[in-house]
Amino acid sequence: MGSRNITEKDVTDAQEKWANGVINIGKQFLEKNDYVSYAELFLDELYAFNFEDVLFKPTLASEKQFRLDKISALSYFVGKNTNYNEDKGFALNCWTNIRFENIGIKIYGDIAITMGNYFMIKDDQELKVEYSFVYKKDNQGNLRIILHDSHLPYTPASL
């Protein structure tokens, strides 16, 4: 099973999987494949919804901005859920690149806390997103997100 301790490489590998997963949901959508099932697998692989509570606060949600279950997280990524009318399918924006810039990674045994920015590119336009993620290593040694908090940067005009 290996060490229960997380390394910084484990974190950056998990971030790369997350970025590739979001991009690939969009690709599945464009290719008219079953992108919803693909997104469900993405959530199963990267989040801890199947094992424990996950605190999920996605970037572009304001009406029901706090999500505590897989169904509400899935709605954010792919839309089409009447309980979350503001969700248009974040991953369906068909991002072409996502890169993380970690400001800090704190590791406490089988828990890692990360904070920074990720940058999403579509049509040569870059969207900056501020985030804090908390990862926990599961019994198989995989990192799972147990807290996802992301939002757009503050702008003075938003007051």
> Which CATH number characterizes residue 37's domain?
3.10.450.50
- Greater confidence (86 vs 39) lies with 39
Angle of CA points 26, 143, 63, to nearest 5°: 50
Count of domains for the chain? 1
Residue 110's domain comprises: 8-153
Average model confidence (pLDDT) across the chain: 92
Residue 119 lies in a domain: yes
Cα 20 to the chain's mean position, in Å? 11
Please give the biggest Cα pair distance in the chain.
51
Residue 94 lies in a domain: yes
* Across 12-37, average pLDDT: 97
Residue 30 lies in a domain: yes
pLDDT in tens, 39-58: 999 999 999 999 999 999 98
pLDDT in tens, 98-149: 999 999 999 999 999 999 999 999 998 999 999 999 999 999 999 999 999 9
Torsion sign (Cα): 20, 26, 29, 30: negative
One-letter amino acid at 143 equals L
Residue 2 lies in a domain: no
Residue 158 lies in a domain: no
One-letter amino acid at 24 equals N
CA distances to 86, 129, 139, 151 from 154, rounded to whole Å, are 20, 10, 38, 9
Residue 80 lies in a domain: yes
